[in-house]
Structure 1
Amino acid sequence: MVKISVTNLAGQTSEIEAEVGLSLMENIRNNDFDDLAAICGGCCSCCTCHVFVDEESYEKLTEMDEDEQYLLEDSENYHAGTSRLSCQIEVDDSMGGMKVTIAPEA
């Protein structure tokens, strides 16, 4: 388990114990954040699990693939250098201290 700070749409931040091996999306939803719709369930076919990752942590993440990039760039809330789909981030031990903010849906 690693600790990750999650900020919801109301601006409230909570620290969660994220399970290594699950996606960030699964961990956020498992911790009762209703703001993260994740409609496609992690299939990378929508943008409803969009989060903003703090810059320091973003630099450490694996590079996003073309499908994720395409979905994010089409989002009205896309921010280069911080936007990611939480379903495409597998939590590992290096992510302790990561800070994410749930992006508003367009």
Structure 2
Amino acid sequence: MIKVTYVAPDGTATTLEAEPGSSVMQTAVANDLDGIVGECGGAMMCATCHCYVDPAWQDRTGARSSDEEEMLEGAATEVTEASRLSCQIRLDPALDGLVVHLPEEQH
């Protein structure tokens, strides 16, 4: 299992176990984690799974695609260099221990 830590805006950290091949969003939604909605189910049609990848992990999660950039324009909170759609981060053993920060709100 791959562990992902989700850090809420108040600093509360929740670590969840994920299946290889699942996404950061799927893992959060499957575990009823507050802070990631995933309204479109991972089809990259919304920005309700916006997250901020911890700086220590940004190089390992890859770059945003142009489609992801476009969807992030509709995010409810500020988009930064660390912003990603969590549905687009596929988990593999190299991402074991990944840390993502959740925004104040999702749209």
Structure 2 length as normaliser, TM-score? 0.87
2:7 is aligned to: 7
Gaps of 5+ in 1: none
Bigger mean CA offset, 2-11 vs 12-21: 2-11
Residues 21 and 92 of structure 1 are in contact (CA less than 8 Å); yes or no, is this contact kept in structure 2? Answer: yes
* Runs of 4+ more than 4 Å apart: none
Distance, in Å, in 2 between the alignment partners of 1:31 and 1:8 is 15
TM-score by length of 1: 0.88
Conservation of the 8 A alpha-carbon contact between 2:36 and 2:106: no
Q: Percent identity?
A: 33
Which ranges of structure 2 fall in alignment gaps of 5 or more residues? none
Check whether the contact 1:40–1:46 (CA below 8 A) recurs between aligned residues.
yes
CA RMSD of aligned residues (A): 1.6
Matches within 5 A, 1:1-106: 1-75=1-75, 76-80=77-81, 82-103=82-103, 104-105=105-106
C-alpha distance in 2 between matches for 1:33 and 1:40: 16
Q: How many residues align?
A: 105
